[in-house]
Each structure stands twice: as structure tokens, then as C-alpha cells.
Structure 1
Amino acid sequence: MRRIAGLLVVPALLLSTAACGSEEKGSDSSPSQGGLPAITEGAKFGEKPTLAKGEGTPPKKLKVEVISAGKGAVLKKGDQAQVNYLGQEWDENKPFDNSFDRGQPFDVAIGGQGVIQGWQEALKGQKVGSRLEVSIPPDLGYGAQGQGDIKANATLVFVMDIVKGTTVPVSADGAEVPQNDTALPKVGTNTDGKAPSVTIPKTDAPKKLVSNYVLEGKGPEVTDKDTVVAKYEAYIWKDAKQFDSTYKSDSTVSWPLAQVTVEGLKEGLIGKKVGSRVLLVIPSDKAFGDKDQNGIPKNSTLVFAVDLLAKA
């Protein structure tokens, strides 16, 4: 969602608003038959690849070729994947980004937010341990607006190594913690995967950060170095106006906490246990301060009900 994308500083693979497209797949472990750029070096899984410049007109639809098939689990909606990648524009001979040099795979919520639609479509149904080469048309990438150094209407080519896949629960499942403070929002305790209710009192918002368990899980505590997989409901305290929800889009998010720029969101989740539902009340000085933020008025106190489902 656009409003929450601004909370993170991530690599070039940002959320796209493009619609889904169709998918074509090539043959397993064979040379490219569909005209995708050749992998000129580092052809094996785990090796940093180099790509030749694309020739001719790029595919108009998403095209996925399995360079080598893994033996791991098949990625399905709701799973969390870690992917090493190199990305290059079709008509260029130098990459615009790669994770191999950083030594850290990119975290992706399958069917979730945080990456362009072409990535989501390419990864869904693939096996962990696979290497893919993928061409992504503009409508499933960055479209007419481009992104950073990526040109407008660019067809993108990626080599992707699916390093890891994790099944993510549909809901927090911890023990209920009493919610006795009537001056704070009350959050529903359902564990059926549906959105929890959030009832905000018609009183003044607290001046300090609130981070309380609603359901206390039994998983490991979250640190500032972790990437967490979460679902959430998000409101503005004033008028109890909802401004974002992963439940409405039936998705999850991956938050690398070291890169979260909203101070209260980061502080409020560090130290909480995986499997928990957490109420966060974030005063404006730990949120967006005196600046409007994509429909969130300046000086707004924010309310989050966050399910910490997994660590990537």
C-alpha cells in the first residue's frame, strides 16, 4: 500500500500498483528458447550472474524461465521467501541493482506487499532452491513513472535465486493479555486470520509511545536486526479513521526493522515475541511529526494492531 511503503527504505524493488498479467514459463535447465538475455557468467545457483544485453523486442508479457529447478517446497501465497537477485533493463548491459554484492538475500512476502507485481507473479508456485530468469514488462514493473535510475516504460530482466521459503501463520496465536486501561484502544483477540477489531476511545491520545501485548506469543523476541513478517490494521487516533490495512488487501508485509523510518513503529516492535498481537499507539513525534504524509494529517497520533507472524 502506498501509505505504508514510505515507512521503509528498501532496494529498488518497491511496491507497484500495476495489475497482474499472464505468465509464460520456459523449459527446465535449458538454454533460453524465448530470447531472454544470456547469462554470460555465474550461471549456477548461488553465483553472482552477469547478463548480456537483450536482443530485439522484449516479451510483452511476464516470462519466467527456470534455469535450474530446486528441490524445496513450492512457494504459495502467504509464504515468506528470501531471494538473491540481479536486475537489469532489457536494453542495457549493466545491472541497476543486485543483492549478491550485499551478501544479504531480499525478503519477499508471497502475495504480499513490498515488491513489484512481476516479482510476485514470477515467484508464486516456484520451488525453493530454484534459479529463475525473468523478464517483466512495464505494466508489471515501474510503468511510465520509472524508478530511480530505471527508465520509464522499461522492461526489466532479473536472475533470481530462491534461497529460502518459510510458511507463515495466518494469525497471531498467543495468550490473551487483559486490556484494562479504558484510556487506550481495545483490540480484538480473534485468531481466525480475519482483521481484529480496533476500538479507539473518544479521549485525548497518550503523549508517549504505547506498546502492549494483546496476544502474547511464545516465539523469539524481535531485535533491531530482524525482518518481521506482519499483518496490521492502522488508524489515526482522531476520528478513528483507518488509513491502511493488510487484511483488506489479503496480504502480509516484510519489515526490515533496521530500515523502518517511523521511530515508534520500530521501537514498539523491538523486544516483542513472534506469534504476538501488539497494540501500538504512536505519538506524532515518533510518527510523521508536523508533516502531512499521503493523507495522514500532520501531528497525527497513529494506532496499529500488529500481528507478528514470523521472522524472515
Structure 2
Amino acid sequence: MRRVAAALVVPLLLLTAACGDGKGSSASSTPLPAVTAGAKFGEKPTVAKGSGNPPGNLVVNTLSRGNGPTVHKDDFVSVNYLGQLWNSDQPFDNSYDRGQPLGIQVGAGQVIKGWDQALVGQKVGSRIEMSIPPDLGYGAQGQPPTIPANSTLVFVVDILKSTSGSGTAKGAVQPQNDASLPKVGTNTDGKAPSIDVPKTSAPKSLVANYVIEGNGPAVKSSDTVIVQYKGVLWDGGKQFDSSYDRGQPASFALNQVVKGWAEGLTGKKVGSRVLIVIPPDLGYGSQGNPPTIPANATLVFSVDIIGTL
């Protein structure tokens, strides 16, 4: 569970997908639906209804090819997209209207299987159209009320950015001389750092200090960040979440996480490790996040900023 994520609008694409075993993309004798308006990269497209029976396999067409880096499995990408049913000309979901591109890790099972397969090998700056059969989409269960059972899905996707999720903080180790604050380990071997919480009263205000200061660009409040992180409770120092335990980095849009994360990471440099201490009013407040985060808990995080989208 994404413990730091706030319960805001979740794109339909990120909801539970079917467990299909598709064979990947293929050619098709059935043309994909035409883009009838907004045909340029970056524009919200209008897509016609599909004609005839939909393809039985995943089909991916490149509508315009970019000249950016190639997307690989496990890369993080930022995309805009519009999706509709093969037999409809009305979108069931799109990111253009939300004004917030979607950030995902390719091949990590965060999206439906058709997406994970279709994005690998594409170039940043490209616009692609894909037709996704039910076994690589939402299968026999569908996604009521907008996606019926056994639906073939059509997506137009603009690939905005891609970055590798590998790495750890690298830079200048900073002194941690304030005995009233937690001390974070400075190892850069890819393993979770230690977090030692002092037996003192928690601070009432947000703390966001460099442990290792990188030399990358400053994080903007509108960014999606790619991070490795570990979170413990101030009281008792018990860990409640860690991306290290899941074996892969995480990505979060800073406008969709608890305020302490958004405020603590904004302005910090990519490549850094940051200690963030979040008071309850900038975290989960009086409701907490049961069962792991009690009410009125002060949270302590070590965050390695690997990249941004």
C-alpha cells in the first residue's frame, strides 16, 4: 500500500487489472480507430469508434515517433493518455482533462498488462495508439460501471518522459549534529538506511534536512518524484512502510501525497537523501492510517530522490 499517498482521484487505469497471459503486440488486418481531432503530440485527441470486430491480440501503432530515449522495462514514464472502448467514441478516462500526467513504472504491474507490454521499446516524444484485448485489460470482470466484461480497450498515449529507477543518493554527506532529531544512515549501497529516533519530544513543525546533498535539479511542487524511502514512527521507532522491502523504487505525484512529503521534498535536489519529520497536522492527523499509523502520529522518513517526471 502506498502509505504516503493521499486518497485523491485515482486514474481508472491504475485499478485492479485482469491476470491475462497475452502474447504481446502483433499486426492486425483490422485498422485501429482513427484520431479525428487533436492529432498532434500533446493535444487531447478525439478518437472514432472502432470498425468491425476488434483484434484478438495487442496491437500498437506509432502515430508519431519521438526522438527521445527508448523506454525499457522497469523505467519510470510520464504520459498523457485517453482511453475508450472499441465499440464507443466516448472516452471512459483521460489525463488531459485532469491536467496531471500519469507517472508509472513500466513492467511493474502498476497498470493493465497491455500497457506494460506496449510501452517497452517506444521512444519518448512518441504518440502511440493501442488496442488491448480483454485478457490484457480488465478481463471477464470488467471495471463497472464504465468498462463492461470482456471489453477491448483503445488508448492514445503521449510519452512525455522516461527515466531509470535505479540508483541511490550520491553527493556530499551533511553533518547531523542536532541531538533532538533522528539520525539517518549514510550508506549508498542500495540498502535501507538506519533511522535512529531520539527519546525526546517530537518537533511540532516540519523538518526537512539533507542527509546527503545531491547535485541534481531542484524538485518542483508539480513534479512526480521517483524515490526510495523508509518510514518509522517517532514513538518507538517502529517501521510502518519501506520501498526497499518491496525491492523497487516508488513514484508519487507531489500533489497527491501527504502535505509533509510535498512540502519537505519541494526545493530539494535530485540525488539527495532527505530526513523528513512530519507532525500530525501535515500527515494523517487525528484519524491516523490504521492499522500501522496511529492517530496523531509524528512520522519520520528517509527519502532518496532518484529522479523526477
Name the aligned partner's letter for residue 270 of structure 1.
T
Q: Residue 73 of structure 1 corresponds to which residue in structure 2?
A: 69
Aligned: 1:269 with 2:245: no
Please say which of residues 78-87 and 210-219 is displaced more in the overlay: 78-87
Give the conservation status (yes or no) of the 8 Å contact 1:189–1:215: yes
Task: Give 1:38's aligned residue.
Answer: 33
Aligned residue for 1:264, secondary structure, equals: helix
Residues 145/86 of structure 1: CA separation in 2 closer, same or farther (3 Å cut): closer
C-alpha spacing 1:111/1:238, structure 2 compared with 1 (3 Å): farther
Letter of the 1:197 partner, please give it. Answer: S
**Are 1:278 and 2:274 counterparts?**
yes
Match of 2:243 among 242, 246, 249: 246
Establish whether residue 83 from structure 1 lines up as the match of residue 79 from structure 2. Answer: yes
1:239 CA drift (Å): 3.5
Alpha-carbon spacing, 1:133–1:171, altered in 2? closer, same or farther (3 Å):
same
Counterpart Cα distance in 1 of 2:173 and 2:230 = 18
- Cα shift readout 1:98-140 (whole Å, capped 9, x = no counterpart): 2345666433333558645543343233333251314163775
1:116-135 correspondence runs (5 A):
116=112, 118-128=114-124, 129-135=126-132
Q: Write the mapping of 1:135-150 to structure 2, written as runs, cut at 5 A.
A: 135=132, 137=134, 140-141=137-138, 144=141, 146=143, 149-150=146-147
Whole-angstrom distance in 1 between the partners of 2:141 and 2:234: 36
Q: Percent identity?
A: 46
Separation in 2 of the partners of 1:79 and 1:117? 15
1:147 is displaced (CA, Å) by 7.0
Work out whether 1:190 is the aligned partner of 2:184: no
Contact 2:129–2:154, Cα closer than 8 Å, also in 1: no
Residue identity opposite 2:223 in structure 1: D
2:252 is equivalent to residue 255 of structure 1: yes
Displacement, 1:280? 0.9
Q: Please state how far the C-alpha of 1:13 moved relative to its aligned partner.
A: 3.3
TM-score (norm 1): 0.79
2:172 alignment partner in structure 1: 175
Query: TM-score, normalization: structure 2?
Result: 0.80
Q: What is the rounded CA distance, in whole Å, between the counterparts of 1:43 and 1:169 in structure 2? A: 35
The 1:85–1:237 alpha-carbon spacing in structure 2 relative to 1, beyond 3 Å, is same
Partner of 1:288: 284
CA displacement at 1:289 relative to structure 2: 0.8
| 1:83 and 1:107 in contact (8 A); partners too | yes
Q: CA deviation at 1:152?
A: 6.8
Unaligned runs of 5+ residues in structure 1 are none
Stretch of structure 1 that moved more, 272-281 or 259-268: 259-268
What SS does structure 1 have at the residue aligned with 2:190?
coil
Contact kept? 2:54, 2:86, Cα under 8 Å: no
Measure how far apart 1:215 and its partner are.
Answer: 0.6
Paired with 1:20 and 1:288, the residues of 2 have a C-alpha distance of 36
Q: Distance in 2 between matches of 1:2 and 1:152?
A: 28
* Letter paired with 2:13: L
Letter in 2 for 1:3: R
* CA distance 1:72–1:302, change in 2 (3 Å): same
Query: How big is the shift at 1:58?
Result: 7.3
Quote how far apart the aligned CAs of 1:45 are.
5.7
